[in-house]
Structure 1
Amino acid sequence: MLKTSLGRFRAVALLEGLSFVILLFVAMPLKHLAGMPLAVRVVGLAHGLLFVLFLFTLMEVAIAYRWSFARVAGAFVSSLLPFGTFVLDARLRREESQAAVQPAP
């Protein structure tokens, strides 16, 4: 999975999405309901770093695969929505499997 730019992008996107979900549904409630602000600091830092890495790998895959602006914008928006990167990964995986089945012209 990590051998291609698309594989690296999918891996980073999954980690970024997971960190976002943990930030929203674990760390934020811990901060506001249990008075544990350190959870947001730690998870927020990790999520921020993964988000920047997501943007870099998005640029890499967009250039390598010549993605359209709309496709790049859609991938970016998926990172802003909870569970969005999981949906993006499912679409990319489906496209990869369809491309592998279709014969080359």
Structure 2
Amino acid sequence: MLKLFKSVAILEGISYLLLFGLTMPLKYWADMGGPNKIVGYAHGILFIAYVVVAFLFWYDRKWSIKRLFILMAASLLPFATFYVDKKYLSGLQ
């Protein structure tokens, strides 16, 4: 479960950065909507996967509600999934 959660968290973070750091500017500044649509769909799927896997991981670890809130909030903030990986997931077995 840990390996799955770490993978989904990193992929979701990368898709977030690609969406808002690369494809959104391409859509609005260069009138290229195609990449934004593809990355947007991928990010949406990864976001949902992150939320589901984060909840399952939290439940499996029997962590506090505070940690669940941190895991869920991380899906909404740029770079936060990388922070969660470093702070909460590194060193776990």
Where 2:78 maps in the other structure, the secondary structure is coil
Which residue of the other structure, out of 22, 25, 32, is the alignment partner of 2:21? Answer: 25
Q: Determine which structure has more spread, i.e. the larger CA radius of gyration.
A: 1
Can you list the C-alpha shifts for 1:24-72, whole angstroms capped at 9, x where unaligned?
A: 0000010011101112111000000001111111121011100111101
Q: How well do the aligned residues superpose, as a CA RMSD in angstroms? A: 1.3
Write the distance in 1 (CA, Å) between the matches of 2:65 and 2:32: 41
Letter of the 2:56 partner, please give it.
E
Where 1:80 maps in the other structure, the secondary structure is coil
Where 1:35 maps in the other structure, the secondary structure is coil
Name 1:9's counterpart in structure 2. 5
Contact 2:51 2:75 in 1 (8 A): no
Write the distance in 1 (CA, Å) between the matches of 2:89 and 2:61: 15
TM-score (norm. length: structure 1)? 0.83
Which residue of the other structure, out of 41, 47, 51, is the alignment partner of 1:45? Answer: 41
Q: In structure 2, list runs of 5 or more residues that go unmatched.
A: none
Identity %, equivalent residues: 35
Name 2:30's counterpart in structure 1. 34
Which residue of the other structure, out of 57, 60, 84, is the alignment partner of 2:80? Answer: 84
TM-score (norm. length: structure 2)? 0.93
Query: Runs of 4 or more off by more than 3 Å in structure 1?
Result: none
- Which structure has the higher relative contact order (CA within 8 Å, separation 6+)? 2
Pairs aligned (count): 93
